[in-house]
Amino acid sequence: MNKEYLERGKLKVGILSRGTAWLDTGTFASLMQAGEFVQVIEERQGLKIGCIEEIAYRMGFITAERLREIATPLVESGYGSYLLKQIR
């Protein structure tokens, strides 16, 4: 099947930058491994992976005040506390 994409000029290939991890989750076992990987990275680095609110704030799509509004009701879950720590 991939050969068909290549022959039609529809296959696009790119090199992933350093620090990028490709997690194939096509099986139950690989899905579990991906979940464990994310958990370990978050715990060891103290960062959230795929935290859309943090990304929006850092890219200037939302203000510090808006991030605070989003985070405040979530403080008890720990997620809100994490978001509040991102405010400069």
What is the count of structural domains for the chain? Answer: 1
31 assigned to some structural domain:
no
Q: Is 64 within the bounds of a domain?
A: yes
Its domain, for residue 77, covers 49-87
DSSP structural state of residue 15: P
In a domain, 5, yes or no: no
Interatomic CA distance for residues 83 and 2, integer angstroms: 41
How many Å apart are CA 50 and CA 82, to the nearest integer? 13
Position 34 in a domain:
no
11-33 pLDDT, tens digit per residue, is 888 899 998 888 989 999 999 99
Question: Does 33 map to a domain?
Answer: no
The type of residue at 2 is N
List, for residues 29-84, the tens digit of each pLDDT value.
Answer: 999 999 999 999 999 999 999 999 999 999 999 999 999 999 999 999 999 999 99
Q: Is residue 10 part of a domain?
A: no
pTM (whole model) above 0.85:
no
